Amino acid sequence: MQFDRNELTLFVTDDGSYTLKHPAFPETYHSKFGAVTEAITVFLENSQVNNRLQQGLPTHVLEIGFGSGLNFLLTASCAKQHQCDLSYTAFENRLPPMSIIVELLNKNTTDCDNEIEALQRTLSHPPVIKASVNRYSTLTMINTDVRTYEMPGNTFDAIYLDAFSVSQNPQLWQSHFLKALHGTLKPGGTLATYSVNRLFKDALTAAGFDWKKLPGPAGKREVIVATAGC
């Protein structure tokens, strides 16, 4: 299922960056307190992806919920900055229209024109899109319900779990799905997310993760980072 262009609007957040909002839906795609701030702290930093790229370690990221592509673009920009290879696999079952993705990404970044053009060229070819967006970063975007996909074992260094909340996308926060995510991480790999929901934390434990709380960005006292045991 896809959105019509005028079903989604750009929403300015407290750090001046933009996210997407559906008028009839209670949640925005990123935090209202700062979209770019949330993407950088909760996903790039807490997952250690930022550190890995800085250290020159080629990194394979899995994202659950590609949405506007903001987490992806900031990660690809980080890979370019550190001249380190990034392989990024993302799932999305309701891709926003390309025109609003491009508008949002152009508003939120200054050094990613080539990457946005590459996305614009390739994202209109579902169901599986492969794009090389800069010299270091490749995106595989799988336009399907992630629950129907059989995850490969021992593949990813980090997961960004960025579905809508437990109340909107309950199955993506339950132990059955989290076990599949645990199995697809390399030993010691990390899962980063914004949710601290109690049932989700219990499900992480049941799925075999070690997890801890970290201070959240503005508007969120704590967030979670989980590790797949070695």
Other beta carbons within 10 angstroms of residue 98's beta carbon come to 16
Say how far residue 40 (Cα) sits from the centre of its chain.
10
Q: Which stretch binds ligand SAM (CB under 6 A): 4-12, 105-113, 162-170, 179-187?
A: 162-170
Is 69 or 189 the residue whose CB approaches ligand SAM more closely? 69
Q: Which of 21, 107, 147, 201 binds ligand SAM (CB under 6 A)?
A: 147
- By the rule CB under 6 A, 71 interacts with ligand SAM: yes
C-beta separation of 72 from 92 below 8 A: no
Shortest spacing between CB 213 and ligand SAM, in angstroms: 20
- By the rule CB under 6 A, 145 interacts with ligand SAM: yes
Q: Which of 44, 49, 61, 70 binds ligand SAM (CB under 6 A)?
A: 70
Q: Which of 38, 92, 115, 157 binds ligand SAM (CB under 6 A)?
A: 92
Shortest spacing between CB 82 and ligand SAM, in angstroms: 20
Binding mask 2-41 for ligand SAM (x = CB under 6 A): ---------------------------x------------
Which residues contact ligand SAM by CB under 6 A? 29, 65-71, 91-94, 145-147, 162-164, 169, 172
